[in-house]
Amino acid sequence: MKGYLYLENGEKYQGELFTTSSETTFNGEVVFYTGMTGYQEVLTDPSYKNQIVVFTYPLIGNYGINDFDFESKKPHVAGVIVLECKDTVYHYEAKHSLKQYLAKWNIPLLSHADTRAIVKQIRKSGTMHGSLTCEENVVQTPSTEKFPVADVSVKQKVTYGEGPTHIVLVDFGCKKSIIESLVERDCTVTVVPYSTPYEKILELKPDGIVLSNGPGDPKQLKSYLPNIKKTIENFPTLAICLGHQLVALAFGADTQKLRFGHRGANQPVIDVFNKKVYITSQNHSYVVDAKSLKNTSLSVRFKNVNDNSIEGIAHKSLPIVSVQFHPEAHPGPIDSGFIFNEFTESLSNVRREKQYA
């Protein structure tokens, strides 16, 4: 049936709305993703909670949905917008079409929409609230404040792997592939809720801490910053995406919202330590404010080549490293997978120091 995207600045775009839900209007923050592939991972990445995703590549769904590339147990997007969605699939591992998968979870799909015009509008006016609907003349209302981390974090601890290195992963909306990347490097990973106090983490006797990715504004977690700081000051830490932003806030730096964020699989990032450029996978609206790092104990390690925004920081004296991009990729290139190697190797060094101290 005929459907529409209404943006909060008054712009309206027409397409064909497909939904199995009894609802007539679906709300969310409208963002765009530039990758040619990886829609299954995007749909199931908890960082996209409450967002309507516009896929810029004109043909989406041609290789279907398989049983392996999920980043969580269910999709988290509020809606999907494409130019063309394929009903037939062309891959031997495909179990469902994209449309079938969205229908299963009652996620609306707006197809045959002018995705180029929508993306140009977002780039011009910035990320904004929007509605997908079959109704004419929907009046946009301001988006209500939400705390999506609480919706996507685990409710109790879960353990993966049986390796000798024990990692406690604080879950703000973790992707499955982050856990898999650590297990592949011979780690036991205990995933705990985002609100787990330091004393409970200490009881688990970790060798290191990982702060995961997740959705929303990092400042919504302001009340948890003292607990986060105490935790990472006492253990070697790797922080990714939202976790990276929380590290910065915990040590007195600030974050700010980009106009339309970085979402795609081809973001160039330079390591200022060795002057090498890596192509990275990213998904975020917020970044660390470079000026706010000036009087902190943090230094810049990675920068975005396109806009010079902060992509990674390191503590000047503690074994804490954080990255804005996704070293596990999924989807995207694996250029920056070495970040996990650096982290796990540093844990081995710390254990050796304790053994011979």
By annotation, the residues acting in catalysis are 241, 326, 328
CB 131 within 8 A of CB 110: no
d(CA 55, CA 61): 11
Number of helices (H) and strands (E) in the chain: give both, helices first: 9, 19
- Nearest Cα neighbor of 282 from 45, 40, 27 is 45
Tell me which DSSP letter residue 291 carries.
Answer: G
- Nearest Cα neighbor of 54 from 77, 72, 70 is 77
Q: If you count them, how many residues does the chain have?
A: 357
d(CA 81, CA 108): 9
Which residues fall within 8 angstroms of residue 357, CB to CB, at 6 or more apart? none
d(CA 131, CA 7): 7
User: Which secondary structure element, helix H or strand E, spans residue 247, and what is its range?
Assistant: helix 242-250
d(CA 215, CA 44): 12
d(CA 290, CA 29): 26
Tell me which DSSP letter residue 145 carries.
Answer: P
Q: In DSSP terms, which residues pair with 304 in a beta bridge?
A: 269
Q: What is the DSSP string of 161-192?
A: ---SEEEEEEESS--HHHHHHHHHTTEEEEEE
d(CA 237, CA 303): 20
